């Protein structure tokens, strides 16, 4: 991995330099070794051909001469931002990676020359899946073959009225196949084994009844 030089790591503490952070001005105090580093795509694009600060200054001077204007060096555009946890969470950063980058910067004065990754979305919990399914419009999907009760939802595996086991839903999927859908919706990855599928089907009914 490539790195860029960023000074300021020789201090005992720092301040959150994210202007958009809720901590306000002058910024929350960040003890040495702590905090989070945010590297934007703009910083990476600018520092790709000037990883040292000396090279970056020369590039800025050259750009200023070419445009006949004064270029102000701002955090987040020409250099990374060191911030507190509030700012990191507000930007949706991967906190583990941003914190590791900060520790590396405090120790070496070097920051990875790549954008800070964003936090990955967590798999939906059982409660969230249930809430989302319940919020869907309730439209009849089929009738119980035993008592003719109207059933709602393609994932129903047992009649609520006579408790008859339903082998298939209206799409022709077996109860175990329906269970696999729920298994995958809960973020468990690939389909489980036949034994696990059977157990999950039983849990499904216990979960909804």
User: 59-86: per-residue pLDDT in tens?
Assistant: 988 888 887 766 555 566 788 999 999 9
Instruction: Report the alpha-carbon distance of residue 30 to residue 185 in Å, rounded.
Output: 40
Distance from the Cα of residue 131 to its chain's centroid? 21
Pairing of strands 3-5, 110-112: antiparallel
Q: Which helix (H) or strand (E) holds 131?
A: helix 126-135
The stretch 11-17 carries a mean pLDDT of 93
Q: Read off the tokens for 114.
A: 């790549």
Report the predicted TM-score, pTM, of the whole model to 2 decimal places.
0.58
Residue 177 pLDDT more than 80?
A: no
Q: Read off the tokens for 200.
A: 């999950």
Q: Where are the beta strands (DSSP E) in 56-144?
A: 81-83, 110-112, 140-143
Q: What is the pLDDT of residue 21?
A: 93
| Cα–Cα distance list, 45 to 1, 42, 168 (Å) | 15, 5, 55
CB–CB of 140/153 below 8 Å? no
Instruction: Report the alpha-carbon distance of residue 195 to residue 209 in Å, rounded.
Output: 22
Q: What is the pLDDT of residue 70?
A: 63
Sequence-distant (6+) residues with CB within 8 A of 206 are: none
CB–CB of 142/153 below 8 Å? no
Burial class of residue 147, CB neighbours in 10 A (0-12, 13-18, 19+): exposed
Query: What are φ and ψ of residue 158, in 5° steps?
Result: -150, 140
Using alpha carbons only, what angle is made at residue 144 by residues 142 and 149, rounded to the nearest 5 degrees?
A: 90
Give the residue with greater pLDDT, 12 vs 209.
12
* Proportion of the chain above pLDDT 70, given as a percent: 62
């Amino acid at each position: 991995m490539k790195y860029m030089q960023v000074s300021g790591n020789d201090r005992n503490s720092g301040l959150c330099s994210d202007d958009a952070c809720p901590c306000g001005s002058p910024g929350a105090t960040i003890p040495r070794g702590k905090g989070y580093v945010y590297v934007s795509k703009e910083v990476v694009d600018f520092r790709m051909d000037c990883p040292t600060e000396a090279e970056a200054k020369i590039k800025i001077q050259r750009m200023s001469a070419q445009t006949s204007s004064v270029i102000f060096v701002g955090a987040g555009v020409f250099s990374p931002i060191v911030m507190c946890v509030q700012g990191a969470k507000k930007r949706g950063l991967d906190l583990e990676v941003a914190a590791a980058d900060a520790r590396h910067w405090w120790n070496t004065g070097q920051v990875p020359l790549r954008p800070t990754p964003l936090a990955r979305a967590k798999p939906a919990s059982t409660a969230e899946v249930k809430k989302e399914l319940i919020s869907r419009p309730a439209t009849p999907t089929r009738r119980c073959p035993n008592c003719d009760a109207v059933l709602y939802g393609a994932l129903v595996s047992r009649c609520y009225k006579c408790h008859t086991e339903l082998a298939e839903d209206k799409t022709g999927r077996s109860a175990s196949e329906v269970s696999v859908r729920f298994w995958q919706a809960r973020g468990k990855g690939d389909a489980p084994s036949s034994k696990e599928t059977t157990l999950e089907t039983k849990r499904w009914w216990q979960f909804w009844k």
